[in-house]
Amino acid sequence: MACAILMGLTAHASAGERVQQASLYAGVGETARAPIGWVEFCADNPDDCRSGATQPRDIVMTQTAWRDLLRVNRWVNENIKPMTDVDHWGVIEKWSYPTDGYGDCEDYVLLKRKMLIDAGWPREALLITVVRDKKGDGHAVLTVKSSKGEFILDNQNEEVLAWTDTGYRYVKRQSQSDPNVWVSLGDTRPAVSTASAR
């Protein structure tokens, strides 16, 4: 009887509870074009862009997982120095691992993603995401899909925040089922990711 009562309570959540639950996860729209630089990055790093449908997976957000996110975000933010692709490579946009200690926002994201995957996290829960920052500029962040909602790792913020607490407008991100498929998140204006100081 207690189980039936609990199931009944879950099935009849209030409108406020449903809105709160929905805000834990960003709404995903139509297929979108990959950001400038992604295809070239994949050509140079084919193991990081293996195609093929996989099952979407979220991280179970434990205290250990949370500490790992904070540690990776802090380490990359402290050890990589911001530099635009024009200053670094002489081109407007180039996605690469910041192996020389310099990079722009998507390079921070690539390294954070790689470190978490190397630590055993599923790629399907680590989604490169294009946003408009508080100034309206294009910016890349890492979305971590978890049992507690979606969290953002960002070179502009030392804290790992819920996606709703960043102040960003979300444009597009990788699909959970294929890293080479990108899906829109609502703001359809083009966004070019560029380096920014923390």
Q: Which residue did the predictor score with more confidence, 137 or 191?
A: 137
179 pLDDT more than 80 = yes
Give the model's confidence band at 155: pLDDT under 50 very low, under 70 low, under 90 confident, else very high: very high
Render pLDDT for 101-152 as a digit per residue (tens, 0 to 9). Answer: 999 999 999 999 999 999 999 999 999 999 999 899 999 999 999 999 999 9
> What Å distances lie between residue 172 and 30, 110, 190, CA to CA?
10, 16, 10
Q: Mean pLDDT, to the nearest integer, of 174-195?
A: 72
Count, residues in the chain: 198
Predicted local distance difference test score (pLDDT) of residue 50: 78
Q: Which of 118, 44, 46 is nearest to 75 (CA)?
A: 118
Separation between Cα atoms, residue 166 and residue 56, nearest integer Å = 24
Could you please state the CATH topology (level 3) that the domain comprising 27-184 is classified under.
C8orf32 fold (3.10.620)
Predicted local distance difference test score (pLDDT) of residue 31: 87
Predicted local distance difference test score (pLDDT) of residue 177: 87
Predicted local distance difference test score (pLDDT) of residue 122: 93
Pair 129, 140: CB distance under 8 Å: yes
- Domain residue spans of the chain: 27-184
Angle between helices 105-118 and 63-79 (to 10 degrees): 140
Pair 130, 139: CB distance under 8 Å: yes
Predicted local distance difference test score (pLDDT) of residue 57: 87
Q: Quote the percentage of the chain above a pLDDT of 70.
A: 78
Q: What per-residue string of b and e applies to 125-163 under the rule 16 or more CB within 10 Å gives b?
A: bbbbbbbbbeeeebbbbbbbbbebbbbbbbbbbeebbeb
Looking at every residue in the chain, the average pLDDT score rounds to 83
Least confident of 28-32, 71-75, 112-116, 150-154: 28-32
Separation between Cα atoms, residue 95 and residue 100, nearest integer Å = 14
